[in-house]
Amino acid sequence: MALLLTPPAIFSLAKLSSKSSRMALNRTSSNPPNFTTDGKRKLPILLFDIMDTVVRDPFYQDVPAFFGMSLKELIECKHPTAWMEFENGMINEY
């Protein structure tokens, strides 16, 4: 899933108030919106949500099955901060 924002097909400058249309059409700004203050061009960012489409998270099905319990049982018996402590290097698997 990608998020790409585009104006609706029925968008028209005629619908804008005179003040907002002046702002929208104002190109005399010393810092155009596509450039940073140091003159370098800003590149657009396109984000894709690929979780559960291209990539599957095994936590909800495979991990409970591995331990022979339901997801609810797994959540109830796991330590609430152990995963974050492990990821941050505060603890190890031993």
The whole domain housing 64 covers 49-94
- Tell whether the model's pLDDT for residue 89 goes beyond 50: yes
Would you say residue 31 has pLDDT above 80? no
Query: Measured between alpha carbons, how far is 52 from 56 in angstroms, rounded to an integer?
Result: 5
In this predicted structure, the answer to whether residue 72 has a pLDDT above a threshold of 60 is yes
Whether 61 is covered by a domain: the verdict is: yes
Mean pLDDT (whole number) for 26-48: 73
- Residues 49-64, mean pLDDT to the nearest whole number: 90
**Does residue 25 belong to any structural domain of this protein?**
no
Is 40 a residue whose pLDDT tops 90?
no
Number of domains in the chain: 1
Name, in order, each residue with C-beta under 8 angstroms of 35's C-beta and a sequence gap of 6 or more.
Answer: 41, 42
pLDDT at position 74 = 94
Angle at Cα 68 formed by Cα 66 and Cα 73, nearest 5°? Answer: 110
Whether 38 is covered by a domain: the verdict is no
Residue 26: pLDDT band (50, 70, 90) is: low
pTM of the model: 0.42
- Provide the pLDDT for residue 43: 86
